[in-house]
Structure 1
Amino acid sequence: MEPSTAEQSLARQPVWKALWIVSLGHFLNDTMTTLVPSLLPLFQSHLGLSYIELGVLVLVANVTSSMVQPIIGAWTDRHPKAWLLPAGEFVVGAGAAAMGFAPSYGWLLVLVALLGAGSAAFHPEASRAAHLAAGVQKGTAQSIFQVGGNAGQAIAPLVVSLLFVHTGLHGSVWLLVPAMLAAGALATIVPWYGAKAKGKAPRVVRTAGGTGATWAVVLLLVVVTFRSWMQAGLSGFLPLYYVNVRGLSTSVAEVYTALFLLAGALGTFIGGPLSDRIGKRRLILISMAGGIPFSLVLPYAHGIWAAVDVVLLGFIVLSTFAVTVVFGQELMPGRIGLVSGLMIGLAVGMGGVGASLAGYVADRFGITTAIEILAVLPLLAAVLAWWLPEDRPLSPRGRPATKPHH
């Protein structure tokens, strides 16, 4: 029996409650995972770690998440697992709470790996939940989901300044409280998610690149990887640069990182709806090219101008978080979990590789040189983004502006 016009219209509308709960879960999840790079100065002083050991720590946090996410995503494409939403959130909280008590570098690596595994379980199913709740407003819905994660990443440095600077690393035990609250909130949408995942998948708007455009997905992954290298590198080493080169306190240095990530969260919130109107490829290209002057100025800006620069850089370059996920989902319809695992997990997690390379460069040539190299990455991403296939924005009524190409 064909659905009525009213039912079709309802299916096109976002399920706001589910979207905001998943976004809240994403917020707390990414707050805890981003504490790893944000706590690098404290780990360095507490355990006497080198720059490369700090880079490897970020690498472990990202790789345990990134290498597993696509596998979980591909598995749950066939068999959605709603229970992974609260379970993954709780594991992340447990790992984050315990890492402040790590007696050695080896134990710290184990606990950070546990945190990454919880994040790997959470992200593909959370992204699928956002997709199912989106109606036809995929960019807008993914922005709501991703802005939760970006805001969490931005808050993490402030948690270091407001909590850990005063309590020491043992203050991590308090992270169990929000983790349990978030897991409880996510548990309330498990019945809705389970029922929705078993139903008919929403119609997918194809891109001009065509279904299964593997080359375009690979190219998009590389663009996201360059963006992730810059973000992870700056999140971890910008505070160290301001502390060790500029002579700022840890609390003040973390504020610059928070400004960078908060601006990115705002950019993400605006970028998704904007991409629904102007197209995803166009927004990615504008974002990468537009960030070039601000990234190149970053190592040389001081005081208030440094704050202005990191805000503009974060807003412009990080505005594509939701856009790249939705773009990948449209290029590979029916593989929501796999694509989410690739775009949120593998490509973003590759930021850990970038952080390790930045740590190696900082040890060999100085941290200023590492920051200067990270500043070039938006230029490389912009060059590659030019070759992405065109997509069709939505009309003002929320429909594709043109008919799909077959």
Structure 2
Amino acid sequence: MAIYSVGGNLGYALGPGFAAALIAAFGLRGTGLAALLPLLLAAFLLRLLPRWRAHEREAVARQREQSEAGETNWRGTVLITLVVILRSIIHLGMTTYVPFFWIDVLGNDPATAGLVQMTYLLAGVLGTLLGAPLADRFGTKPVLVASFALLLPVQAVLSTLRGWPLLIGLFAAGFLVVSTFTTTLVMTQEYMPRSLGLASGLNLGLAFGMGGVGTSVLGIVADHFGVLVVMRCIASLVLPALLLTLALPPVRLNRA
């Protein structure tokens, strides 16, 4: 799961810089060149489809075994969904408003804002790579609790930092936030062993969608009270996320 997520997180981190380079070189029409790589990958995946179909029956059999292994843990499902909603607001809020904090509050060069944002996002790629193996070794809930516990002081002081300490803080925040992505998805599926598709939809669809709504609310706060207040609002969400994580029931399996 982590290996799959790394590609998406890496593309998300490098995408703005890649698009900016294309626009600088070829103008707005150059953005069409960004579609070449996905098209090549799609052609490659089409060639692999026959092999995947050969393993389809085996995969369906394994899923049926999982489905028969337990009932849906609704308490765990509700709690982990709330955790993901808060985590999504934190992550999307940081991605959206850190550049404004860098420019408007700290008065730095707008040309460097993209690099600051990339620092946060690339740290998330590393967090994805390391977070899942740690969850496999120590358990999903302990790693999730540790991530939010470490994130709490980082987010609390982030808006007070300047210069290199701020960049280090952003790197730490990105690492800790994104390291939980695959862990929460696996936990949701373990709470809903008979509805793996619905579990993924709750985790990736509903929760992230609500995260987007929360980020929009932060935009209203920014308009009325400023970006610095938004950064403090984001920091205030870590504690309830940690408390909800502590209340999570144990999962049946620990795979990330």
TM-score (norm 1): 0.58
Which sections of structure 2, spanning at least 5 residues, go unmatched?
none
| Partner in structure 2 of residue 201 of structure 1 | 62
* Aligned-pair CA distance for 1:170: 4.2
Question: Which amino acid letter does the alignment assign opposite residue 229 of structure 2?
Answer: T
Matched, 1:388 2:248: yes
* Aligned-pair CA distance for 1:250: 3.2
Matched, 1:285 2:148: no
| Partner in structure 1 of residue 104 of structure 2 | 244
* Aligned-pair CA distance for 1:383: 0.8
Q: Percent identity?
A: 35
Distance 1:317 1:388 in 2: 18
* Aligned-pair CA distance for 1:268: 1.1
Distance 1:365 1:359 in 2: 10
When the two chains are superposed, the root-mean-square deviation of aligned CA atoms in Å is 2.4
- Match of residue 172, structure 1, among 17, 26, 31: 31
* Aligned-pair CA distance for 1:148: 1.6
* Aligned-pair CA distance for 1:161: 4.9
Matched, 1:212 2:72: yes
| Partner in structure 2 of residue 340 of structure 1 | 200
Distance 2:99 2:82 in 1: 26
Q: Secondary structure at the match of 2:251?
A: coil
Distance 1:236 1:169 in 2: 22
- Match of residue 120, structure 2, among 225, 246, 260: 260
- Alpha-carbon distance change, 392 to 198 in structure 1, aligned in 2, over 3 angstroms: closer
Using CA pairs under 8 Å that are at least 6 residues apart, name the structure with larger relative contact order, 1 or 2: 2
Distance 1:320 1:161 in 2: 29
Question: Which amino acid letter does the alignment assign opposite residue 201 of structure 1?
Answer: R
Distance 2:111 2:157 in 1: 23
Distance 2:43 2:187 in 1: 31
Deviates more, 1:165-174 or 1:325-334: 165-174
Distance 1:378 1:180 in 2: 39
Q: Secondary structure at the match of 1:313?
A: helix
Counterparts of 1:116-265 in structure 2, within 5 Å, are: 142-164=1-23, 169-199=28-58, 200-202=61-63, 203-204=65-66, 211-265=71-125
Question: Which amino acid letter does the alignment assign opposite residue 189 of structure 1?
Answer: L
Q: Secondary structure at the match of 2:247?
A: coil
The C-alpha deviation readout for 1:314-358, integer Å capped at 9, x for no partner, is: 112221111111111111114222211221222123221122111
* Aligned-pair CA distance for 1:206: 9.9
Question: Which amino acid letter does the alignment assign opposite residue 310 of structure 1?
Answer: L
| Partner in structure 1 of residue 172 of structure 2 | 312
Distance 2:16 2:203 in 1: 24
Distance 1:143 1:274 in 2: 11
Tell me the number of residue pairs that the alignment of Structure 1 and Structure 2 aligns: 252
The C-alpha deviation readout for 1:65-89, integer Å capped at 9, x for no partner, is: xxxxxxxxxxxxxxxxxxxxxxxxx
Distance 1:332 1:156 in 2: 34
Which sections of structure 1, spanning at least 5 residues, go unmatched?
1-141, 399-406
TM-score (norm 2): 0.89
Distance 2:190 2:175 in 1: 24
Q: Identify, as 1 or 2, the structure richer in helix.
A: 2
